[in-house]
């Protein structure tokens, strides 16, 4: 039996699936068979394999996948993609998302068409978007802290006690404002379609070099969302609030005490996303957000 042809690009492909997701095994098996037939070496995320085994292929912990793969294909929703993208970004490994979730702003390839779509993409017919990440330092008033990454957003907010928090915001070492509110969201362009959008923030296109600061239920109605350049450093300090917390991409959570601060800046690397050739960001927004569609060609009055 002849060996499959060696692929021209992305020789080693990692597969990651949404954990505890009914029906995840079938698309993973289909992908593994498809990739093997094209000559790619397939390695499966160990947690994924524990939940939905893919026989005949090696496994590796998620933290090691970036060292063993030239490309990752993630089957799941945006939450799964966010988690994997943060781990791959420091190693410059690109990612393709197969939508097994709900809206899927980051995963717009449907499982029904994944083989034909991936065949073209793996042959080089794709577009790449590099997404900005936030580097986050949680600095404790008493010393110590945590270092984190966020692709969507960082949220400083009140906890379960229900009372507002008061925080101060500094931008590039200059005091910007203090605010009493349920919280504040700092979002990347990627995260502008997530929590920030629900809180009244604008949508930023992925290539825009900006961050959003979006207040959550501010006590003073004059506090409005603002966009700043992504080369700025943002520091949020908790002034009052005994039950505050900081949340990165809704997946990493830490409590905050009065005097603690969260320092944010643009990360030194990007998350790399590959999309099918002809990917249209605004068409994606129309579909996901149910915007009204208009004819492709609109009659215009003749030039005078």
Whether 269 and 285 have beta carbons less than 8 Å apart is answered as no
Q: What is the pLDDT of residue 160?
A: 79
Of the options 3.40.50.10330, 3.20.20.70, 3.40.50.2000, 3.30.470.20, the CATH number for the domain spanning 12-124: 3.40.50.10330
Residue intervals in the chain for CATH 3.40.50.10330: 12-124
Using CA atoms, how far residue 24 sits from 52, 112, 251, 286, in Å, is 7, 13, 21, 27
- Give the HSE-up count for residue 224: Cα atoms under 13 Å, Cβ half-sphere: 4
CB within 8 Å of 39: residues ≥ 6 apart: 3, 4, 5, 6, 7, 11
Count CB-CB contacts under 10 A for residue 226. Answer: 17
Whether 72 and 42 have beta carbons less than 8 Å apart is answered as no
Cα–Cα dist 69/13, whole Å: 5
45 is catalytic: no
Cα–Cα dist 88/219, whole Å: 39
Q: What is the pLDDT of residue 302?
A: 67
Checking DSSP bridges between strand 126-139 and strand 261-276, what pairing results, if any?
Answer: antiparallel
Q: Which of 51, 64, 78, 260 is catalytic?
A: 78
Q: What is the pLDDT of residue 295?
A: 63
The torsion angle over the Cα atoms of residues 151, 155, 159 and 164, rounded to 10 degrees, is: -170
Residue intervals in the chain for CATH 2.60.200.30: 133-268
At residue 1, the 3 state secondary structure works out as coil
Q: What is the pLDDT of residue 6?
A: 65
Give the residues of the chain that fall short of pLDDT 70: 1-3, 6-8, 293-304
Cα–Cα dist 24/28, whole Å: 6
Q: Which CATH class is domain 133-268?
A: mainly beta
Count CB-CB contacts under 10 A for residue 27. Answer: 22
Cα–Cα dist 157/151, whole Å: 18
Whether 267 and 87 have beta carbons less than 8 Å apart is answered as no
Count CB-CB contacts under 10 A for residue 57. Answer: 16
Q: What is the pLDDT of residue 231?
A: 98
Q: What is the pLDDT of residue 9?
A: 82
Q: What is the pLDDT of residue 171?
A: 98
Angle between helices 114-122 and 25-37 in degrees, nearest 10 = 40
Cα–Cα dist 39/95, whole Å: 19
Q: What is the pLDDT of residue 22?
A: 83
Checking DSSP bridges between strand 183-187 and strand 153-157, what pairing results, if any?
Answer: antiparallel
* Helical spans, DSSP H, in the chain: 25-37, 46-51, 62-68, 78-88, 114-122, 195-198, 281-289
Whether 148 and 136 have beta carbons less than 8 Å apart is answered as yes
């Amino acid at each position: 039996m002849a060996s499959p042809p060696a692929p021209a690009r992305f020789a080693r492909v990692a597969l990651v699936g949404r954990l505890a997701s009914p029906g995840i095994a079938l698309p993973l098996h289909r992908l593994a068979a498809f990739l093997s037939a094209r000559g790619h070496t397939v390695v499966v995320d160990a947690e994924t394999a524990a939940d939905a085994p893919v026989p005949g292929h090696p496994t590796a912990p998620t933290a090691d996948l970036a060292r063993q793969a030239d490309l990752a294909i993630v089957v799941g929703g945006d939450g799964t993609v966010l988690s994997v993208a943060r781990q791959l970004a420091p190693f410059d490994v690109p990612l393709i998302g197969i939508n097994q979730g709900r809206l899927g702003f980051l995963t717009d390839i449907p499982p029904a068409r994944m083989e034909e779509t991936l065949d073209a993409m793996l042959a080089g017919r794709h577009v790449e978007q590099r997404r900005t990440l936030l580097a986050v330092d949680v600095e404790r008033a008493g010393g110590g802290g945590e270092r984190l990454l966020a692709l969507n957003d960082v949220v400083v907010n009140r906890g379960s006690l229900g009372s507002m928090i008061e925080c101060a915001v500094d931008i590039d070492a200059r005091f910007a404002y203090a605010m009493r509110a349920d919280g504040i969201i700092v979002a990347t362009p990627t995260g502008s379609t997530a929590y920030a959008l629900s809180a009244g923030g604008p949508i930023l296109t992925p290539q825009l070099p900006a961050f959003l600061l979006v207040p959550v239920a501010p006590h003073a109605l004059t506090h409005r969302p603002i966009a700043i350049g992504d080369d700025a450093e943002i520091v949020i300090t908790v002034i009052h609030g005994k039950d505050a917390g900081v949340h990165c991409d809704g997946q990493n959570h830490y409590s905050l005490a009065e005097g603690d601060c969260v320092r944010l800046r643009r990360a030194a690397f990007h998350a790399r996303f590959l999309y099918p050739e002809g990917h249209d960001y605004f068409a994606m927004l129309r579909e996901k957000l149910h915007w009204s569609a208009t004819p492709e060609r609109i009659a215009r009055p003749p030039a005078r």
